[in-house]
Amino acid sequence: MKNFSKQVLAAGLFCLLGTAFNAHATIILTAGADGVDGLLLEGANSPKVGVILMHGRADGPDGFGVGDLRDSLNQSGYTTLSINNPTPDTNVDDLTKTLEFADYLASEGTVFDEMHSRIWASLDYFKGLGINQVVLAGISLGSRFASEFAAHTQVNGERAHDPALVGLINMSSINNPVSPPSLSEFNILNTIDQIMLPVLDIAGDGDFHAVNGQDPRETAYGGSDYTKVVLDCPDYPTLDATQSYWACHALFGVRGDYNAPLETTVRNWMQRVAPVPEPATLMLMVTGLLGLGLHRRKRA
């Protein structure tokens, strides 16, 4: 009986320590010709589900949207890894040049190949952590990269996903990179039909390009689990119409807090598609184990 009590107490203390101390780190992934950095937050108690996040144009792995989600999802128990997007060929020699979408279009083959290398490296890193299920998440340009990877690796079979891809989160997605619509794979309509994973499609109500593209994306979608959500962006009284559009595209005013609309929407969807025990639930379980152990010690 005493040995049982000691084992319960030891297990409880281990879980408490695992929940209280999550690893925060910048890691270097081996991808392509060079290493690429990513921002890692390890989930409590070694969860089996991870999230790879891809940022928007001219931003970084702790930028708008992805920075908020990597923190909030980690608070919910997930391991998150936010990675840098590749740089277009047209920008390599001038790092001070503002990245334009035309630069990505001009380097389409190169940047997609490089992004594949980075996502595969991220999956390999997650595998080393014991993670066996992964959700891809991207905002704006990042959603195009995430969609293209999910589509092509399913159809072309570069190699089996290990860990397995179990979901795709697209935020502030715009279908057509040019007018009229092109065959570019930056056009999500040219990749979404090949995706069978559950998809969460989020747009701010003032981001008319993203909102108007949701129905066509759902119609073209190749799977059977497509969720569309439109978040109510606030008024931006100090901004003009163009600035307000971009503020809503970046989901300003609907993110930045654990219980904000963006974080809550994503967290609820994740708990349906790829659930993990939340740290608060784990703490209750640990408290119960500790109480049981103490009770048995007294009886002994």
178: confidence class by pLDDT, cuts 50, 70, 90: low
4 part of a folded domain: no
Among 117-126, 189-198, 243-252, 283-292, where is mean pLDDT lowest? 283-292
296 part of a folded domain: no
Span 39-83, pLDDT tens digits: 999 998 778 999 999 999 988 899 999 999 999 999 999 999 999
What CATH number should be reported for the domain holding residue 180? Answer: 3.40.50.1820
| Mean pLDDT score of the chain | 81
* pLDDT higher than threshold 80 for residue 221: yes
* pLDDT higher than threshold 80 for residue 240: yes
167 part of a folded domain: yes
According to the model, what pLDDT value does residue 233 have?
Answer: 98
Q: Range of 129's domain?
A: 24-289
Is residue 53 within 8 A of residue 142, CB to CB? The reply is: yes
15 part of a folded domain: no
Among 8-12, 67-71, 81-85, 150-154, where is mean pLDDT lowest? 8-12
8 part of a folded domain: no
Among 165-174, 183-192, 217-226, 255-264, where is mean pLDDT lowest? 183-192
Q: What total of structural domains would you count in the chain?
A: 1
41 part of a folded domain: yes
DSSP assignments along the chain, one per residue: -HHHHHHHHHHHHHHHHHHH---EEEEEEEETTEEEEEEEEPPTT--SEEEEEE--TT--TTSTTHHHHHHHHHHTT-EEEEEPPPPPGGGTT-TTSPPPHHHHHHTHHHHHHHHHHHHHHHHHHHHHTT--EEEEEEETHHHHHHHHHHHHHHHT-SS--SSEEEEEEEES--S-SSSS--S-TTSGGGTGGG--S-EEEEEETT-HHHHHTHHHHHHH--SS-EEEEEE-PPP-TTS-HHHHHHHHHTTTTS-SSTTSHHHHHHHHHHHHHS----HHHHHHHHHHHHHHHHHHHHH-
297 part of a folded domain: no
Is residue 43 within 8 A of residue 79, CB to CB? The reply is: yes
174 part of a folded domain: yes
Is residue 62 within 8 A of residue 15, CB to CB? The reply is: no
